[in-house]
Chain A
Amino acid sequence: MTRYKRMALGFVFGAGIAAVAGLVLRGERAATGPVEIGNDGGWSSRAVYACDRRKLVIVEGVRPGEKLPPERAQLVADVLSDLMRYCKEEVVARISRSQHITVAANGFVYENYVPGSEIPFLQVSFGEPTEREKKIWQAELDKVVAEGDRLFHSDELGSNGVACAMCHPHASNTHPETYPKFQAQLKKVAVLRDMANWCIENPLEGKPLAHDDPRMVALEAYMLSRRAGTALEAGKH
Chain B
Amino acid sequence: MYRNDMTKKEIERAFAERSPADEQEIRALSNCDRRQFLRSSLKFAGMAAAASLIPDQSFQIVSAAWAETPGAAPAVKFRFAYISDAHLYARGMAHRFAKSMAKAVEDINALDPQPDFVLFGGDLAQLGRKDELALGRDILKGVRAPLRMMVGEHDWYYDMGDEWRRLFGRDYYTFEHKGALFVVLNSVVEKDFWTPKGYSPEERMAIVSGLDDNRQSPFEVGEEQRDWLQRKLRGVKRDKPIVVFSHSPLYKLYKPWNFWTDDAEQVQALLQPFDSVSVIHGHTHQLLTNRIGNIHFHGMLSTAWPWPYAPQGLPEYTLQMSRSDPFNQLDGCGDGRMDFLTNGRIDKHYNLWAKSARTVTAAQLAGDALPGLGGAKGPVLLGKRTFASANGRSER
User: A-side interface residues toward B, CB under 8 Å?
Assistant: 153, 160-162, 165-170, 172-173, 185, 198-199, 202-203
Contact = CB atoms under 8 A, between A and B. Distances in A.
Contacts of A170: 212, 256-257
Given A153-B213, A185-B327, A169 B307 contact: yes
A165 B308 contact: no
B135 to A, nearest CB: 13
Given A160-B95, A203-B326, 4 more contacts: A166-B87, A169-B212, A172-B308, A203-B96
A160 B96 contact: yes
For the complex, would chain B's binding face be called helix, strand, loop or mixed by DSSP majority?
loop
Contact of B326 (A160, A161, A162, A167): A167
Contacts of B95: 160-161
Given A160-B89, A161-B91, A185-B327, A167 B306 contact: yes
Contacts, number: 48
Contacts of A203: 96, 305, 326, 329
Interface in B292-320: 305-308, 311
Nearest to B307: A169
Given A185-B325, A199-B326, A203-B326, A165 B212 contact: yes
Nearest to B206: A153
A153 B210 contact: yes
B327 A173 contact: no
Nearest to A149: B212
Contacts of A165: 210-212
A169 B257 CA distance: 8
A169 B308 contact: yes
Interface string B310-346: 0100000000000101110100000000000000000
A15 B326 CA distance: 68
Given A167-B305, A203-B329, A173 B89 contact: no
B364 interface: no
Most buried by B among A165, A166, A203: A166
Contact of B323 (A160, A161, A173): A173
B349 to A, nearest CB: 24
A161 B96 CA distance: 10
A52 to B, nearest CB: 42
Contacts of B256: 170
A165 B308 CA distance: 11
B260 to A, nearest CB: 13
25 contacts: A153-B210, A153-B212, A160-B89, A160-B91, A160-B96, A161-B91, A161-B95, A161-B126, A165-B210, A165-B211, A165-B212, A166-B87, A166-B211, A167-B305, A167-B306, A167-B308, A167-B326, A169-B308, A173-B308, A185-B327, A198-B327, A202-B327, A203-B305, A203-B326, A203-B329
A162 B95 CA distance: 10
Given A153-B213, A173-B323, A199-B326, A166 B305 contact: yes
Contact of A161 (B89, B213, B327): B89
Contacts of A168: 308
Contacts of B211: 165-166, 169
Most buried by B among A167, A169, A202: A169
A76 to B, nearest CB: 46
Nearest to A183: B327
B326 A172 contact: no
Nearest to B311: A172
Contacts of A167: 305-308, 326
A150 B308 CA distance: 20
